[in-house]
Amino acid sequence: MDGRAMRFLQGRIFHAADGRLRAIWRAVLYVPLCGGLTLVAQTVAVLVVEVVAPETKLAADTMVLMPPRFAIPLYALTIVAALAAAWWMLEVFDHRSFRTLGISFDRNWWREWLLGFSLGAALIAAVVGATAVSGVVRLRVAPDEFTFAEFFSLGVVLLLAAAWEEIIFRGYPFQRLVESVGALWAVVLLAALFGAVHIPNPAATALSTANTVLAGVLLAVAYLKTRALWLPIGIHFAWNWVMGPVLGFPVSGIRMPARLLAAEVSGPVWLSGGDYGPEGSVVLTAAAVAGTVWLMRTRAIYPSPDRQEVLQ
């Protein structure tokens, strides 16, 4: 194969007809860029903490369990890093507006967020209600594990965590995969990855992993219905906040430090979720499927006129 043929082949593999890097390679390139920026931002933040408050211990399995005064800025930095990487990719490789990412404060963002919050809260409430009726879950007030300050600050942490995960899993990489391989395969691939990253969580099971994959599908469909991240962010935040700080269950196997209620579970793990929380229950399987089907079929949710104009 001569040099011209090789260059032609490489061009077809890496570049589209319009001369831009193919969408799938843009999705791949985003990962190390975002990871590198995140590592730099968090390293600087940790060094600052060690200088300003050397007595503070930041060793935790997850940022959610860090003291909120440190978890909040750390999550904020990870969001800034993820958005900065997306902005650079959109500017340099896509030649598109940053608004196409779906995180702009347009006229409908708060409606979509509230709708997502309502849907996420309703799904978890339905799961817990069903397991309570079956007798495998009991709830009691937990006054010794609740202060308003902790409850509020933990809510902020979970909101930022949900926003970060949605930017990572339903943001730039997912959107480029939709462009490259189509919505179906993009949903399958990113939902599978979403489930895989939760496998190391405490008390994870095959069912909890499958449910996390289904949750990834639900959140991806929420993005596709609106072409924005506000609806999935609202679902994700309410899902975790109602499950953890409000009702007292572990969130993906992680017990929250502040809880309004305390949950006591018994019976088979496949029904109660066990130490992983409701996400390990077959009841959540049904709820996630029902929520996804409803999102796919409803005509009440669609991209706002502002967003349709940006995406043209």
pLDDT tens column, 195-205: 999 999 999 99
Domain boundaries, the chain: 3-311
Given a cut of 60, is residue 6 above it in pLDDT? no
Element (H, E) at 79: helix 68-89
What are the tens digits of pLDDT across the range 237-257? 999 999 999 999 999 999 988
Average pLDDT over residues 267-277: 96
Per-residue confidence (pLDDT) for residue 259, from 0 to 100: 86
Is 4's pLDDT higher than 70?
Answer: no
C-alpha dist (Å) from residue 157 to 36, 237, 257: 22, 10, 12
Which of 63-77, 146-160, 168-182, 250-264 has the highest average model confidence (pLDDT)? 168-182
Nearest alpha carbon to residue 36 among 96, 100, 73, 89: 89
Mean pLDDT in the chain?
90
Q: What is the pLDDT of residue 69?
A: 82
Residue with tokens 């979970």: 158
Nearest to 233 by CA among 243, 225, 224, 223: 223
Q: How confident is the model at residue 9 (pLDDT cuts 50, 70, 90)?
A: very low
> Which alpha helices (H) appear in 102-205, and where do they start and end?
109-134, 148-169, 172-181, 183-196
Q: Calculate mean pLDDT across residues 32-59.
A: 78
Residue 46, Cβ density class (10 Å: 0-12 exposed, 13-18 middle, ≥19 buried): middle
**205-229: per-residue pLDDT in tens?**
999 999 999 999 999 999 999 999 9
Model pLDDT for residues 17-36, shown as the tens digit of each residue: 777 899 999 999 999 999 99
pLDDT greater at residue 16 or residue 40 = 40
pLDDT in tens, 274-285: 999 999 999 999
Q: Say which residue, 45 or 159, is predicted with more confidence.
A: 159
Whole-number pLDDT of residue 3: 52
Consecutive H or E run containing 224: helix 206-226
What whole-number distance in Å separates Cα of residue 288 and Cα of residue 296?
12
The contacts of residue 211 (CB under 8 Å, 6+ apart) are: 279, 280, 281, 284, 285, 288
